[in-house]
Structure 1
Amino acid sequence: MRALIAVVTPLGRLIAVCSVLVWVLGALLGWVEMVLIAVTGLVTFALSCLLTIGTAAVRVQVSLSKRRVVAGGSSSCRVQVEQAGRNRFLPYALEVPVGTGVETFDVIGKQGHDHTFPITTERRGVIVVGPATTVRGDPLGLLRRTVVLREPEELFVHPVTTALRSFGTGLLRDLEGRTTNDMSMSDLAFHALREYAPGDDRRYIHWRSSAKASTVDSKFLVRQFLDTRRAHFAIVVDGSPVAFPDAEDFEIAVSAGASIAVRAALDDIDTTVVAAGQVAHKQGKHRLLDSFSRASFGPVALPELTARAAGVSSGATLAILITGAVPSFSDLRRAAAAFAPEVPKVVLRVDPSAATALKPSTALTVLTLRQLSDLPALLAGGAPR
C-alpha cells in the first residue's frame, strides 16, 4: 500500500480526494454539475493510472569519458539504453541527475537509444552522475513511477595546481630520505671513525686507518654512520571555517596542498594527506588529488587534524601544515606539537592581504602565501632547520 501511495504525486492525491468529496457533496445537494466535475476528475485519475502500468525491461549503461578533470575542464557522459525484453512498452522518460541538475531523455519504441551530453566544471569538488532512473507517468503529473537502474558515477574535479621544482632542492628538500643526527652502526651516511668497543660489528672496522695508527695503545677504528630514512611528507590542510576569512582563501590552501602532493608523487616521496578531514595515506597521484576534491569545511580544528595525520604517518620526515590568516603563532605551535620534535615543520598561511614572506624559527618555519602563483618561489626560499 505504501508503494502504491508513493506513486501518486501530491497533485494526484489532491485530485482524487477532491473528486470523491465533490461527488459526495453533489449527490447530497443534488447538483449534477458537481457530480460531473467529480466524475471527470476520477476518470482522469484512472487514465493516468493506466499510463503507469507495466515495466520497461531495459539495460542502461552510464559512462564518463573522463573520471577526473581539473577545475574549469569538461567531460562528457554517454547514456546507452537497450531493451532487454520482447514486450512493447509505452514511452517513458529517463532521468540522469548530474550534480544539482537533471538530464532528461524521452525513450520511445523498442530501438536502442544513445545519448551523449557534456559536463562542464567551474569549481573543485565531486560531481555525482546518476543514478539512471526510468520515469513513467502521465502528462498532467498526477502519478510518477520511478525505477533506479544504475548506481551513480563520480566525476572528480581536481583543484588547480601550480608546477613546483623537484624537492631535491629548496625549502622542502627531502628527496630519497634525509640524514638525521641519530648515530648508527649500519647505514649509508658515513659520519666519522671511532675506537672499537666491545659489541661492535667487526665488518665495519676500517683496517687501513687502524694500520696507520702510530700509538702503541691504539685500538681498532670502526666506521660510524648517521641514520637515514625514506622521505615521507605529511600534508595537513585546515578545514575549520574560522581559520579562513574568505572561502576563496580555503580554495588557495587546497590548491597549494595539492601542488605539493603532486610534486611529492612525481618525486616518488611517500605522502600522507589530511585535507579537511579527508585522509589519503601513501596513495598515487590521482588518489591524493581525489582527497583534495572531497575536502570541505568541517567542525574539526587544526590540532585534531594534525593529531590524526601524526597517527597515520608515524614515520613522517617532514610535516606541512596549511591554514588561513586567523590562527596565531601559538595556535600553530600547539597544532605542530602533534608531530615528533625531530620532525621539521613548515606552516603555510594563506593571506591574500599580506605580502609573501618566509619566517624561520627554531620551532617551525612559517610561510605567508598571497596567491597560488607565488608558491614555487616561496618554497625555493630556504630549508627548514
Structure 2
Amino acid sequence: MINVTEAKALVKENALALNPVKIHLSLAASHILAEDVFAICDIPAFRQSSMDGYAIKFADKDLTLKLSGEMAAGTEANFTILNGETARIFTGAPLPDGADTVVMQEKIATVNDEVSVLDEKLKLGANVRAKGSEVKTNALAMQKGNLLTPAAIGFLAGIGITEVSVYPMPKVSIIVTGKELQQPGNKLNFGQVYESNSFSLKAALKIAGIENVHVFQADDELDILKNILDEAMQISDVVLLTGGVSVGDYDFVIEATHLCEVDEIFHKVKQKPGKPLYFGKKNQQLVFGLPGNPSSVLNCFYNYVLPAIYSLSNKVNAVKEIKAKLAAAYQKPAGLTQFLKGFYEDGFATPLNAQESYRLSSFAQANCLIVLTETQENFQEGEIVNVLLLPE
C-alpha cells in the first residue's frame, strides 16, 4: 500500500489536460479557454451614445439649438449636425457626424424645435462611448487559461466571436458491479440492496459540469465485466468502477483491468474509508476502481477522481483544503489517514455520527471531510486539522 500523499501525487502526474477542441461559443460555458482570442473589429464599431438624450457640439452648449433629426439604436443612415444644431439620440445609437457630446434628456429644455442645455457641469465627450473603447481590432481580447464564465461568454459574443478553442470536459462512464444490487423503485428481494452509487456519482459529476455520463451494470462475472469495461473505454476518458476491488472470490475488477490492458498505477491506499482504491491508465484514459460502500465511493471521488477530472479539463481543483479547529476530540488507529464526514462552520469542523463506510446518512449532512493524519492516534478538541470543503 501507498499513503494518501503518494496516491494523490500519482493521480495528478497521470491526469493530463485533454487535447483542445473548437466548439460554438454557446456551448463553451464553464470551459477553460485553450488559446488567446483576438478582436476581429473595433467594439463599439462607432462612436456610441451611452444614454437617451441629445447629441451636440460641445462648443454650442450655451446656445439655443435647433433640433435637426433623430438617431435610434440600429440606425444605419448617418447624418451631420451643423453649428447650432442638435439631434435626439437614444442609448446605443451612433453619434451623428459633427457631434462630440451627449446631454442626458433630464438636463434639456425644449420649446417646439428649440433645445437649451441646462447642465452646467457638462464636459466635452460626456456620455459618449469612443470607437474601440471596449476592444480594438486585433487586440488581445481574452487570454488562454481564462474560465469562460457567463460574463466571459457575453463579452466574447459582444465582440463578434462565435467559436472558441477550449479544453473539453471529460466523458465519464460508471460501471456498477454486484449481483445484489436492485434499482430504486423496484421491490427488494432477500439479500438485495438498492443501488445508490451511480446516483451519487452522477450528481457529483453534474456539479462539476460533467453531463456526458454513461452508466453500466455488471454482474460479478469476469467475462461480463471485461466486456463492459472494454465498451466503456471505447467512449470514455474516465471510467469509474464501484465495488469488486477487494480480494474476495467475486471481486473481478482488478483482473478485468488486466485483461483490458490497463496499466495499474496503484492498488490500495493507507486510508479509511476507501483502502482498496485502484487507479490505472490506458493511453490517456483513466480508470478508477472504487470500493462498493457508499461513503467510501464518495470519499475516493472527492480525494482522487474529482481532482483528476479538473486536471483533464485544465481547471483548478474545486475541493478546497483549509485549516480548522476540531470541534470534538477523536481517536483513531495509527497507520491510516482517516477522512471523517464533518460539518464546517465558523472555523470549527465537527465530526458527524455514523462514520461507518456503508452509512451515507451522515454524508448527506456533511459539507466537508476532516483529514486525520496517518501517524497520529489521538486528536484533541480545538486541535488544528486539515479540512476538505466539498463542492456544492
Task: Give your verdict on TM over 0.5.
Answer: no
Query: TM-score per shorter chain, which class?
Result: under 0.3
TM-score, structure 1 length as denominator? 0.24
Structure with the greater relative contact order (CA < 8 A, sep ≥ 6): 1 or 2?
2
User: Normalized per residue, which structure has more helix?
Assistant: 1
